[in-house]
Chain A
Amino acid sequence: MTGPERVLATPSGPTDTDIEVGWRGRISASLIGGFLVGVATGLVVTLWVPGYDGLDQALQGGLAATLAMPIGMIWILFARTGKRAWKRALISLVSLLLLAAAGYIFLKP
């Protein structure tokens, strides 16, 4: 039985064991972190991969972001504990901030 199944099937809600397993943390972290990974990847593609024009670059970025998001989600979801999942989400956030800063410094109009 997987973590979320146990959480949903337990009569009195999640037990201590579930919390130890950290599935709730992993689910939340994977949704947030997955989105951040998606945005970060999309930004890289939009800012640094050449396209036909600005519109084309934005669309490329959007496509890349949508593809990267599930990969990021799975990466975070399968962290060994909930705490590690949040660490991975934090790594995603830091990467995104660094990318945004780099984009602003090197590519500002």
Chain B
Amino acid sequence: MSKKVGPFGISKRQYKLHYDLHSWTGIVAGLVIFVVCLSGSVAIVEHELATWEQPELRLEPASNPQPIGDLVALAMAEVDPRARAEPSPAPGEEGGEEAQRTDSRVFLELPSESHPTLSASFFEDGKWHYKHWDPANGEQIEVGESALSFHTGLHTHLQLPVIGRMLVGFAGLFLMISIISGVAAHPQLVREIFLLRWRPSLRMSFSDLHKQVGTWSLLFGGMLSFTGALLGLFTLFAPVMVLSAFGGDLDKAVEAFSGKSQEFVGETADMLPIGPLVEDFEAQHPGYEVSRLVLTHYGDQAAEITLDLAEAPQRTLDAPESHRLSLVTGETLYVQTFNGRGIGARLMSLTSLLHFGTFGGGFLKLLYFVSGLLLTLCVGSGLYLWLERRRRERADLRSFQILERLILGVCIGQVLATCVSIGAARVSGLQAATVFFAVWVGYVALLFAVPRLRFMVRAGGLASAAALGGVAAYDLVTADFWFARSLPVDASLLVLAVLLAACFAFVPARKSTRVSSEPSRDLTRAA
């Protein structure tokens, strides 16, 4: 009978199995997981940092704002040609096909304390457009492209078409497998819960750091990977499940999910006043506020308005509700709610709330941000350990050198590209995507071109810290009346910059001597 190992009492063979599995998932998906984790940490605070990133949106709360209805009419006249008083093209006529496309849908975020402008987003010419208006005078505000939105896109679909979302789902799946196998492959989990050795070697420090960060962020990481895998892979499984649940009837399935949509008619009609509609709705749902409006076929006989209701502020795990009404007759067309609809719907709504951390206010978001960074550190340190374990035997092999530079380039390059793209967008309004990919690819190329790897690693880290600290200092100097509100963000960025600089100034200078943390040694101790 084989000997049992660790607090979980697993056999040596099972231990080896989990260790292999942990290693395998890291090799196959480690880099994608790293990219997803780091971009996710940025994406989680996208909404909170919108006004920090785009200083044009920093407005004093309007004492006498224009009525919501007037603002929405103004916004719709700007963003959707069909909102104007001109006759709309009928289906089949020139422009009719375009009028029927879903890009006639406009998303409107109403002004609030944290988001002082009226903002509209719509999809046109193959990309999303964002526009903002001052609620005090209805003037449009010109802003540069948001770097945070770009990082959100990187997190949700790796800036790729349909397959990107599935890849992210797979990354979540691999992270989930990696976490479970990592716990099982760590027999000293409880005993070493506070163990962090800095002195003996860099590899030992990283090994301890990997275990500590992994252990302390275990629940958070497990939850994020599971919910992320669900959100990402649901698109993969959904068509099969939905079609089988509705006996292959696609129309019925679509209707069950999003209600029956009205078809574009091509005849103009008078729109109901939106201001009183929103006020009436909030009065009917005490404790809730209309957070977002979605206007479809605005100005047409088939015009619809969707009101997204959320707790004000959201403090529970109750799913937000969506009510869709005809904007011509006021008739309710569809109510989407996951509350009280069975375990499948409830779990799905919980999945979104838990993954995006939208149920606990600013402090919870900060906690998610820090935990996300820790998870990124855990993945990065795991990749580094994998490299270090092979360095002694394979340092001279060309394949190892390529792999090493690729892994370091992708990881540190992403950190650098993230810091620089956010800084560049904030300071000069440069397009985040261009800056990000230029820096990322450039850094990887430099790692291959410059033989001094240690110097390049340190330079990459210090440059990231400089970019982060620089943009925080720039914002502090130019913050003006918004100073008190942007101070926490700038202070957090400065702390991050100092930590980053300290790590990269100190860590690569240390020698990476070979130490024993092979599974066999752990096994011996445990046994």
Contacts and interface: CB of A to CB of B under 8 A. Distances in A.
State the main secondary structure of chain A at its contact with B. Answer: helix
A33 interface: no
A95 B400 CA distance: 41
Contacts of B348: 59, 62-63
Contact of A59 (B176, B247, B347): B347
Interface in B334-372: 341-345, 347-348
B345 A52 contact: yes
Contacts of B234: 62, 66
B333 to A, nearest CB: 17
B349 to A, nearest CB: 9
B399 A63 contact: no
A60 B397 CA distance: 49
A58 B230 CA distance: 13
B253 A4 contact: no
B20 A11 contact: no
Residue among B27, B240, B253, B399 with the highest chain A CB neighbour number at 10 A? B240
A104 B324 CA distance: 35
B176 A70 contact: yes
Interface string B226-247: 0001100110111011101111
B245 A57 contact: yes
B241 A108 contact: no
Contacts of B198: none
Contacts, number: 133
Q: Interface range on chain B: under 10, 10 to 19, 20 to 34, or 35 or more?
A: 35 or more
Contacts of B347: 59-60, 63
Contacts of B28: 4, 27
Contacts of B101: none
A48 to B, nearest CB: 11
B245 A61 contact: yes
Interface in A45-64: 46-47, 51-63
A29 interface: no
Nearest to B235: A62
Interface string B384-400: 00100010001001111
Interface residues of A, number: 40
Given A9-B397, A53-B341, A58-B245, A66 B27 contact: no
B246 A54 contact: yes
A63 B230 contact: yes
A85 interface: no
Contact of A56 (B173, B248, B342, B390): B342
B240 A54 contact: no
A65 to B, nearest CB: 4
Contact of A46 (B24, B241, B397, B403): B241
Given A73-B177, A108-B247, A58 B397 contact: no
A39 interface: yes
B23 interface: yes
Nearest to B238: A62
B495 interface: no
Contacts of A56: 341-345
A65 B241 contact: yes
Contacts of B247: 107-109
Interface string B19-59: 01101100110000000000000000000000000000000
B390 A74 contact: no
B194 interface: no
A63 to B, nearest CB: 6
9 contacts: A9-B399, A42-B237, A47-B245, A57-B241, A58-B238, A59-B345, A60-B344, A66-B173, A77-B21
Interface of B: 17, 20-21, 23-24, 27-28, 173, 176-177, 229-230, 233-234, 236-238, 240-242, 244-249, 252-253, 256-257, 341-345, 347-348, 386, 390, 394, 397-400, 403
Interface of A: 2, 4-5, 8-11, 27, 35, 38-39, 42-43, 46-47, 51-63, 65-66, 69-70, 73-74, 77-78, 103, 107-109
Given A61-B344, A69-B173, 14 more contacts: A11-B397, A51-B344, A52-B341, A58-B253, A61-B241, A62-B230, A63-B347, A65-B240, A66-B229, A74-B21, A77-B21, A77-B24, A108-B247, A109-B249
